[in-house]
Amino acid sequence: MAEKILARASKRERVAPGEIVEAEVDVAMVHDITGPMVVEGLREVGVEKVWDPSKIVVVFDHQVPADSIDAAKNHILLREFVREQGIENFYDVFEGICHQVLPEKGFALPGRLIVGADSHTCTYGAFGCFATGIGSTDMVSVFATGKLWLRVPESMRIEIEGKLPRRVAAKDLILYIIGDLGADGASYRSVEFVGEGMRDISVGGRMTMCNMAVEMGAKTAMVPSDAKSKRYLAGRAREPYKVVQSDRGATYVEELTYDASELEPQVACPHSVDDVRAVREVEGVEIDQAFLGSCTNGRFEDLLQAAKILKRRRIPKSVRMIVAPASREVYLQALDRGIMKIFVEAGALVEPPCCAACMGGHTGILGPGEVCISSSNRNFRGRMGSPDAKIYLASPATVAASAVRGAIADPRDI
C-alpha cells in the first residue's frame, strides 16, 4: 500500500523500498504547538503565500483554552496567519484533537498522502492512507511547495486473527504487539494491519492501533479500506477517493500473526511504552490520577466503555479522574447519551475537547512521586509533568476500573 500511494504521489509508475521520492502532499496539518514554528520558518525563507490553502488544516488542541501568555501569543499568531493566507480549514478552541478532527471532517481518505507536524499523524492510516508525522522545518517546505522528499519504507504485514474478548480492547492489542516487537521493532516501516480479526475491530479501534504504531518506530501504519471505514466516511469525505490495496502475493520484509481471542488486558509500565505486562501482573499499584482521553482513546466508544464501569459507582477521594473527549462531535454524542452525567456523578472532572493531561503542558500535570493510569500513548519520564511521576498506559476500561478501585485493576473483575 505504501509503495502504491507514494508512486501515485510522486507521479511514477512504481517505487521500491529505499528509494527517495519527491511526493506531492494531499493534506498538511499543524496545530497550536507546531504551527507557530512553521509560520516563523516561512517568514525566515521569504515565502509570502502557501502553495495551496485548501490543502492545509490548522487545529488548536494542545493548549486550549490558552493557559499562558505564550500560548495566547501562539494562538494570535496562527489566527492572523490563517486569515492572511485564506486558510478555511481552521479549527479553533473546542473543536477537538487534530487526529480526531481530521477524520471527522473528511480529510483522511484512502490512498491519500497526509503529513502532519505531530508524530501521531499516523492515526489516519486507519482509513487506508499514507499518513506520517514530520518536523516543523519539513512542514515549511510543504507549506511553500506542496512537496516533500520521502524515503519509501519497507512494509511489514501484521495479521490479526480471532475476536477480542469481553473488556479487552484494540488498545490492549496494540500494547501487546509493541511489547512483543519493542520500541524499534518497526523502525521506518509501513505496517499493514490485516486479517479477519482486524476486520472485526471498529474504526475507532483501528485508529488507536495506527496511532500507536509510531511507538514501535513505524513511519506509517495502515488498515485496508473496507465496508466499516467506508460507512464512517459516508457523508464526511470531502471528495471522491480511490481505495488502494496491496497486491495478492506482495513482498513484505516481515509477516507476523497475533490471535486477539487469547488476549487479556495489558498495561505499559513506566517509563517505556514497550515495557508491557498483563494487568494481572501489576494489580494493586495505587494511583493518584486516572486520565481518559487523548488522540489514542478519547472517542465515543472509549467514553462509553468507561461509563459502563463507572455507572452508579463513586471514585474514591484519593483519586483524581480527568476525562477529555477527543472532539466536539464526541462531546455532543456523550452528552446526548447521558455519559457525561455518569462521569460527573462518579466524581470525574470533564474537560473540553483537547489533548489535556496527555502532553504534560496543560491541565492534569503530575507532581513528584504521583502515579497516573492513562489511556494516552506515551509514558516517558516527564511526559505528564514531574520526571519523578509514573505513568501506566492502559485501555479506557482498565483506566475506569482502576479509578474505581484506587489502584490498577483488571476491568473484567468489575
pLDDT in tens, 80-117: 999 999 999 999 998 999 999 999 999 999 999 999 99
Q: Which of these ranges, 38-47, 79-88, 226-235, 354-363, has the smallest mean pLDDT?
A: 354-363
Q: What does the DSSP assignment read for 46-86?
A: T--S-S-GGGEEEE--SS-S--SHHHHHHHHHHHHHHHHHT
What's the average model confidence in pLDDT over 258-279? Answer: 97
Contact call for residues 229 and 355 (beta carbons, < 8 A): no
Contact call for residues 411 and 167 (beta carbons, < 8 A): yes
Provide CATH code, domain 2-238+250-258. 3.30.499.10
pLDDT value of position 360: 83
- Is residue 18 predicted with pLDDT exceeding 90? yes
| Domain spans in the chain, listed from the N-terminal domain onward | 2-238+250-258, 268-413
> Exposure of 230 by Cβ count < 10 A (0-12 exposed, 13-18 middle, 19+ buried)?
middle
| Mean predicted lDDT score pLDDT of the chain | 96
pLDDT value of position 305: 97
Contacts made by residues 308-311, CB under 8 angstroms, sequence distance 24+: 309/397, 309/400, 309/401, 309/404, 309/411, 309/414, 310/342, 310/343, 310/346, 310/348, 310/400, 310/403, 310/404, 311/342, 311/346
**Cell of residue 325, nine digits:** 473527549
Provide CATH code, domain 268-413. 3.30.499.10
- Is residue 362 predicted with pLDDT exceeding 80? no
CATH topology match: 2-238+250-258 vs 268-413? yes
pLDDT value of position 144: 97
Contacts of 305 (CB under 8 A, 6+ apart): 167, 169, 395, 396, 397, 400
pTM: 0.94
Residue 331: Cβ within 10 Å count = 23
